[in-house]
Structure 1
Amino acid sequence: MKAYSKIYFPLIIGAACALGIFIGSVLDFPDTSEGIFTANAKKEKLNRLIDYIDYEYVDDVNTDSIVDVTVNSILENLDPHSVYIPKQKYDAVSENMKGDFVGIGISFYTLEDTIAVIKPIPNGPSEKVGIKAGDRILYADGIELAQKTIDTDSLSSLLKGKKNTTVKLKIKRNGSEKLLDFTVKRGTIPIKSVDAAYMLNEKLGYIKINRFAESTYKEFEKAIESLITQGATELALDLRDNGGGYLDQAVKIADEFLTQDKLIVFTKNKAGKINKTFSTKKGKFKNTKVFVFINENSASASEIVAGALQDNDIGTIVGRRSYGKGLVQREMNLGDGSAVRLTVARYYTPTGRSIQKPYDHGDNKKYFEEYLSRYRNGELQSKDSISVNDSLKYTTPKGKIVYGGGGIIPDVFVAKDTDYEKESLNYMLKGGIMDRFIFNILEKDRNYYNSLTQKEFNTQQIVSDQIVEDYINYLNEFNFDFKTKNYRYLLRKYLKASMAEQLFGTNAAQKIISQDDKMIQKVLSLD
């Protein structure tokens, strides 16, 4: 994910550079000199080459694919975060960052050649008409949805669509001999960026954010209000594994904790123009205790929040050195449904430090595998192993020493658990293998599991020894090399978390997963 301001421009920048396409002269680039996109000899050369291939080359060639390859090659020689988004991927990428989409509101699997509903989205179109977890969708507008007859893209286009349009579904439900008919009016379905919000103790609230999308701050505000009604006067903000997103959303969240007129972040572009962003009066957690969790996968917008608070001597940053992305991208429309996210500025924390880690132009592999060097030099286990550059030393208003040059170094270090088997469990939880197994368990007795309240679910040993054993046997079907002897307690916990998510949502699952979380335990010891 990348921090960028989403501004659309009628421009075909990548193809212009690569193929010499003439671009219109009216562009909304405040820092662009006049005539930058006018034709020149180098562009004309590339333009002629494509024309020759189109009209003279002996074989038919898909010049669109040549354009894609050329644009990617150009961007790869700029920086690691300037990227091309092909037309066929644009909708999915935009949807993820927009924070919502239009559809019928279900999460589902393609299971045994049918579309199985895992769970209807709460208050979504499907739930409102009575569709339930475990239902099998066999037909949509008369089209059979069996996995063998329809691909994923076609399925998606049938279930999604324009807002307020309808789709007629035929559903097979356990216990019903006949197919059930439902007409669902498509609506706006949120893609949540706040995974969890709950109380860690009587005064400390906890919020986990997975990315910074257009809707993140609104979700965050709602979560904050809920926690305050539960007595929260302090907050733990979990930004681990948050790859970033929109810069403005990070600014709004940082503003919640900073008193008025504090510098949050500033950016500097090619021309040296500096834009500074300051905090406002708004905010429900100003001058209160706040902890921010980061790790080696916390990037971009996550680092803006952590850096703003650290440099203003607000709160405590807990965890491990963050990713180190201090480049700002702007999304630009290329005119054919594709787009480019081009790095247009660098951002700096309030003390003036850039946290962008070094990169070599054209060597993106080395850049994205920098995590391996952290693993080898021991910094995931010890803060003392983090390499710092004394020439990039900065001082906060209260005299704390902070460093630029590659990520945010936490105030309180928590080592990474490098146990391979535990890591494997985390991958299983995120990868879907466990979810599919649990779905089948729930299917065996939907009435019982649906009758449980969340309190009953939490207090009972829902995951039996037999379920754990069955899951181990299930893993064997995938030739998954996992030593289960010493980790059955973790298997039980993660299986219950997967079940909680399917029954009650991500908040319930996160509570279970975090029961022995080292960072949470560390914060509770500090609080």
Structure 2
Amino acid sequence: MKNKPQTLKKSFLFTLFLLALLPCPAQEQKDVLNHQVNKLGQALFYIQQYYLDSLDTSGAVDEMISTLAGQLDPHSSYIPEAEVRSMTEPLEGNFEGIGIEFAIIRDTLVVMTPVAGAPSEAVGIRADDRIVAVDGEAISSPELTNQKVFSLLRGPKGTRVSLTVIRRGEREPLYFEVVRDKIPIYSLDAAYWAAPDVMYVRINKFALTTQDEFIDAFKNLDKMPRGLILDLQGNGGGYLGAAIFMAEQFLGKGEMVLYTGGGKMKRQEVHASGMGFLINTPVVVIIDERSASASEIVAGAIQDWDRGPIVGRRSFGKGLVQQLFPLNDGSELRLTVARYHTPSGRVIQSPYVMGEQETYYRKILERYERGESFNRDSIQIPDSLAFRTLKKNRIVYGGGGIMPDVFVPADTSYYSGYFVQLARRGIVNAYVNDYLDKERERMARQYETFEVFDRQMTLADVPFEGLTAYAATLGIVPGEGDLDVSEKHIRTQIKALIASRLFGTGCFYRVINPVLPEFRKALEVMNGLL
């Protein structure tokens, strides 16, 4: 053994050191684990010492650990050292690219969720899309890594990248052209008065900055709101601490936010501090099928304590507690160590089979195919998963995700072939950028504030004809009846995008929200509470 390469020896000794620190209730289990580690160490040693050709043992070990993690739940993973930093950037920093959260499943780049407000979302990239080619070059292969994905999709703001996407339910590949941009670093998209005395706040993720952003949104108000609409649509989660902060803004002192338990982890409870500044303020929370993890913790706590109605559609169902275990080379093992439970005892996590990630994500898609986004009755949950809220004793359901109190079907009433083509290729965004490149100074003089802009620029005034002419140059023309279906929404989208470019992201939602059924229903429910 003394001829063993020094790096391999260090790695092997470090592994044995970690084993010595692990809590092992049964000596037999410890002996079995030691035997397995020794077996692996022997195999690596013999290969290194006697194999005919050279072998990248570092890469081989990475692949072994990755394969092992793939046999666990859908959210446990191994992250090589070179990719650790980049995996946390969406929550901690900023970068220029197309803006997706992704995973590599069976050698294929799979979109987990488009980052809210990013170019990928703007052109219509969806969760579960498979990106199989970038700029015409096929990328699906055993050599595909996170680092390679970053190098392909990131790039200077304003540069274009063409994506070939395989989408379930579509017979042919879809083609998107995405203009790279700076990915939003802020977690709070909008905060404004949705109605007299009613504040609307939209949070796209729970980041390190969420607490400060949320507090800042209330600092300069002349008065505190009598009601709050908290929009968590498309919020895929983030840092648990930020979610706990958000939940306890609405909960009384000592009221449970969540508890964790399962496996080798003892039950741990988190209770509100009672320091929230909206404890007595009526709240309505909006969620949808893309709301996950930390978003579900917030919605579940508010629902279980009967603090406010949940409006929208069933959330994703990601409720596993993950712990980071740093390895000796700077890589990390992200392991699920427990499950999140809402205060009433519901499990947030959707059911899964270990090692079957593909099946897990396919079942999420099957919800849509069953019509769950359009009809509440399509959701079948057994009575065994019924729980009771903690104050009003209402029935709520577990079994994966948070079920809304008020169901709002997804709105596709404005979808036409023309609208879909515009969205997939990012035509509306590209046109608005081009339009403002020429008209920004004039519009800035004409509309000094958003209020003036919103009042004076009617839907009839937006440059819709310019958009259709621009799209025609790219071979996209409306079919018969397409404009009857989509024109009003496209005009609203143009106005919202111009508003966001001139006055900030929050103004996009001030324009678009009034035509969205989820927002309208939330406001209706809130008016009933005041």
TM-score interval, smaller chain: 0.7 to 0.9
**Is the 2:97–2:154 contact (alpha carbons within 8 Å) kept by the matching residues of 1?**
no
Whether 2:236 is the aligned partner of 1:243: answer yes
Q: In structure 2, which of residues 357, 360, 370 is the aligned counterpart of residue 364 of structure 1?
A: 357
In structure 2, distance between residues paired with 1:418 and 1:394:
33
| SS of structure 1 residue aligned to 2:14 | coil
**Is the 1:86–1:339 contact (alpha carbons within 8 Å) kept by the matching residues of 2?**
yes
Following TM superposition, by how much is the alpha carbon of 1:230 offset from its aligned partner in structure 2, in angstroms? 5.2
> Which moved further from structure 2: 344-353 or 489-498?
489-498
Aligned residue in 1 for 2:457: 460
Q: In structure 2, which of residues 266, 273, 280 is the aligned counterpart of residue 273 of structure 1?
A: 266
| SS of structure 1 residue aligned to 2:339 | strand
Following TM superposition, by how much is the alpha carbon of 1:313 offset from its aligned partner in structure 2, in angstroms? 1.1
- In the TM superposition, what whole-angstrom CA distance separates every residue of 1:357-395 from its partner, at most 9, and x where no partner exists? 110111111111223321233322222221112122211
Following TM superposition, by how much is the alpha carbon of 1:200 offset from its aligned partner in structure 2, in angstroms? 0.9
Following TM superposition, by how much is the alpha carbon of 1:307 offset from its aligned partner in structure 2, in angstroms? 0.8
| Residue 71 to residue 495, structure 1, CA distance change in 2 (3 Å) | farther
Map residues 443-482 of structure 1 onto 2, 5 A cutoff: 443-451=437-445, 452-453=447-448, 454-458=450-454, 459-461=456-458, 463-473=462-472, 476=475
- Partner letter of residue 228 of structure 2? L
TM-score if structure 2 supplies the norm length? 0.72
Q: In structure 2, which of residues 268, 282, 294 is the aligned counterpart of residue 289 of structure 1?
A: 282
Percent identical pairs in the alignment equals 36
In structure 2, distance between residues paired with 1:257 and 1:31:
38
Aligned residue in 1 for 2:134: none
Whether 2:380 is the aligned partner of 1:390: answer no
| Residue 371 to residue 26, structure 1, CA distance change in 2 (3 Å) | closer
Aligned residue in 1 for 2:208: 214
Whether 2:301 is the aligned partner of 1:302: answer no
Aligned residue in 2 for 1:438: 432
**Is the 1:354–1:404 contact (alpha carbons within 8 Å) kept by the matching residues of 2?**
yes
| Residue 432 to residue 481, structure 1, CA distance change in 2 (3 Å) | farther
In structure 1, distance between residues paired with 2:281 and 2:258:
21
**Is the 2:243–2:295 contact (alpha carbons within 8 Å) kept by the matching residues of 1?**
yes
Unaligned runs of 5+ in 1: 1-15, 110-149, 157-188
**Is the 2:417–2:479 contact (alpha carbons within 8 Å) kept by the matching residues of 1?**
no
Aligned residue in 2 for 1:124: none
**Is the 1:266–1:348 contact (alpha carbons within 8 Å) kept by the matching residues of 2?**
yes
In structure 1, distance between residues paired with 2:362 and 2:231:
24
Aligned residue in 2 for 1:193: 187
| SS of structure 1 residue aligned to 2:17 | coil
In structure 2, distance between residues paired with 1:432 and 1:264:
40
In structure 2, distance between residues paired with 1:483 and 1:51:
67
| Residue 191 to residue 70, structure 1, CA distance change in 2 (3 Å) | same
**Is the 1:21–1:47 contact (alpha carbons within 8 Å) kept by the matching residues of 2?**
no
| Residue 367 to residue 480, structure 1, CA distance change in 2 (3 Å) | farther
In structure 2, distance between residues paired with 1:486 and 1:205:
32
Whether 2:248 is the aligned partner of 1:255: answer yes
| SS of structure 1 residue aligned to 2:64 | helix
Map residues 91-490 of structure 1 onto 2, 5 A cutoff: 91-98=85-92, 100=93, 191-226=185-220, 228-229=221-222, 231-397=224-390, 398-419=392-413, 421=415, 433-451=427-445, 452-453=447-448, 454-458=450-454, 459-461=456-458, 463-473=462-472, 476=475, 483-484=482-483, 486-490=485-489
| Residue 52 to residue 499, structure 1, CA distance change in 2 (3 Å) | farther
Aligned residue in 1 for 2:17: 25
Following TM superposition, by how much is the alpha carbon of 1:486 offset from its aligned partner in structure 2, in angstroms? 2.5
TM-score if structure 1 supplies the norm length? 0.73
Following TM superposition, by how much is the alpha carbon of 1:56 offset from its aligned partner in structure 2, in angstroms? 4.2
**Is the 1:237–1:290 contact (alpha carbons within 8 Å) kept by the matching residues of 2?**
yes
- Partner letter of residue 235 of structure 2? N
Q: What is the number of residues matched between the two proteins?
A: 434
| Residue 229 to residue 89, structure 1, CA distance change in 2 (3 Å) | farther
Following TM superposition, by how much is the alpha carbon of 1:487 offset from its aligned partner in structure 2, in angstroms? 1.1
**Is the 1:247–1:301 contact (alpha carbons within 8 Å) kept by the matching residues of 2?**
yes
| Residue 216 to residue 34, structure 1, CA distance change in 2 (3 Å) | farther
In structure 1, distance between residues paired with 2:277 and 2:424:
33
In structure 2, distance between residues paired with 1:422 and 1:399:
44
Unaligned runs of 5+ in 2: 1-7, 100-150, 158-182
